[in-house]
Amino acid sequence: MQQGYHGTGLKEILDAVQIPKGSFYNYFGSKENFAAEIIAYYISPYVEQLQRYLAQSEGDSLAALERYLNEGIAELEKTEFKGGCLLGNLTGEVSDTSDVCRVALQTALSRYRDMWEIGFTRAQSEGTIRTDKTAREMADLWVNMWQGALLRMKIEQSTAPLIQCKEALLGDFFKA
């Protein structure tokens, strides 16, 4: 998160976790495979957290999605906008140079998008968001816009782009 894929050497990783190089290569085979595993690992808590919010939505999935985002935005403010999203960071850095990482990124973003699709489907059935667009279309748009907002957040050192994205889409464009 801090130095990027290319800025972090394998020796640095191995020294930090005190694992011999041979063990690393036996388990992962390469730094590229290791990065793909990190990508899969990284997205899981976000998907699970979103799943929990939706499970506790009490019939208001749109409000659950907004609570999920508000918590994430508050956390980014606490960390002073450092890091952002590992997926977005790696997408810009390795997606066009590593097929292994590109596939892992695509899979991770699809998992995240699929949870948003579930949330939007529920919100549509609850009558809180529009039905003239499919939940999949809105989930794709959401992920695209949110990733862009995360990048702008890093540039501007402000959560304003995230809040704008949330309010423009969830509070306006997607509303029924």
CA 120/CA 62 separation, integer angstroms: 7
Domain ranges of the chain: 42-173
Rounded Cα distance, 110 and 107, in Å:
5
pLDDT digits (tens, 9 = 90+) for 90-134: 888 888 889 999 999 999 999 999 999 999 999 999 999 999 999
Percent of the chain with pLDDT over 90: 74
Residue located via tokens 């939940």 = 135
Strand partners, 175: 129
The contacts of residue 165 (CB under 8 Å, 6+ apart) are 145, 146, 148, 149
Q: What is the mean pLDDT of residues 9-25?
A: 90
Name the one residue in this structure whose structure tokens are 């529009």: 130
Question: In terms of CATH architecture, what is 42-173?
Answer: Orthogonal Bundle (1.10)
Which of 40, 32, 41, 43 lies closest to 98 in space, CA to CA?
Answer: 32
Entry pTM: 0.90
